[in-house]
Structure 1
Amino acid sequence: MRVIVGGVGYRNLRDHSVGVAVTDHLEWRDWPAHVVVEDLSYGPIAVVQRFEDEAPDRRFDRAVFVAAVARGDGRPPGAVSAYRWDGVLPSPEKIQGSVCEAVTGVIALDNTLIVGRHFGALPEDVVVVEVEPFEHEAGETFSAAVQRRFEPLCELVTQLALDPAAVRRLPVAPLGGGFRPGAEAR
């Protein structure tokens, strides 16, 4: 089973850089040949092209995406939510909006997933690891809340890349993970 771990986000944007920082940190580990770790922050259309560039017999069977996403749903800063994306696409209007944002350079987890699924580039098995950001400003450091979670986050992403049983234990959920205020996030 080929697995790609992809960080999504902007560099030098404090907490919103956590996905890229995770892949930067993990790419230097000694990974088995079936695992690829890569910064996928070059825009949704380019991600589609990246996935389509794989030979048919070398396509990825699982993608693990990691990014900061401010959902505004009550998650505390630094909260980590992991789930298997159900792959359900939004309305055609929302898909069109995501494609428009993608071609204008917007780099965001939801756009990457929506555009990737719409064009059939993503594997069926997509794992999403979201971090609730606190700081949204230029800079290279994380907020204290995200910094405390960084090493455990890297370990979680590593486990999800290597352990199919850990992936099976995750809930299947829509984009955003279906978090409800009062529910516990990791």
Structure 2
Amino acid sequence: MNWGPIAIVQYFQTLKKSFDRVVFLVAIERPERKIGDISVYQWLGHLPSEKQIQACVGDAATGVISVENLLVIGEHFKIWPKEVYLVDVEPGAEQAGEYLTAEVEAKIPEILRILGQFAQENDIVLETEKLRGDTLFEESV
């Protein structure tokens, strides 16, 4: 899916049968990682303040596409199944074109192996970092 958070929420709301598990493959620059590093996160829910939820919805309504906003908005509208995961690959600096960096391209077999594990119907045995909505944002008091 390459839509904004509101469109994804609306899509999930129209499903006749909900998913048991959702896995997002994302490529987000994070300063502490090297290009090609892979992080796996498990979403645990827990909403931030009402003010922060409103900020996420406002951003989404104006076209900001953010995985953090997506997770919080989806949680707010109760669309997520029990299991939500992110497979996050460090892409490196953004450049024009449709090619992957050599480091990311070299990681494709590992990325596919991880995604394949999520496609199984059994319990996930991958080591994951935990994400909670109430700790995603630094909120000013």
The correspondence for 2:35, drawn from 59, 68, 77, is: 77
Higher relative contact order (CA closer than 8 Å, sequence separation 6+): 2
Shift of 1:168: 4.1
What's the TM-score, normalizing by structure 1? 0.64
* Length-normalised TM-score, structure 2: 0.83
Unaligned runs of 5+ in 2: 136-141
- Whole-Å separation in 2 of the counterparts to 1:64 and 1:168: 14
The alignment yields a C-alpha RMSD, in angstroms, of 2.0
Q: Distance in 1 between matches of 2:95 and 2:54?
A: 28
Structure 2 partner of 1:170: 127
Which consecutive aligned stretches of 4+ in structure 1 deviate over 4 angstroms post-superposition? none
Please list the CA deviations of residues 71-126 of structure 1 after superposition, one character each: whole Å capped at 9, or x if unmatched: 32x11111101132111223323222211111112222212111111111111210
Q: CA deviation at 1:172?
A: 5.4
Aligned partners of 1:125 and 1:131: how far apart in 2?
20
Q: Deviations over 1:30-83 (max 9, x none)?
A: xxxxxxxxxx2111111111111112xx111111111012232x1111110113
Q: Percent identity?
A: 37
- Structure 1: which 5+ residue stretches go unaligned? 1-39, 179-186
- For 2:122 and 2:50, the matched residues in 1 are separated by 33
Aligned-partner Cα distance in 2 for 1:142–1:121: 32
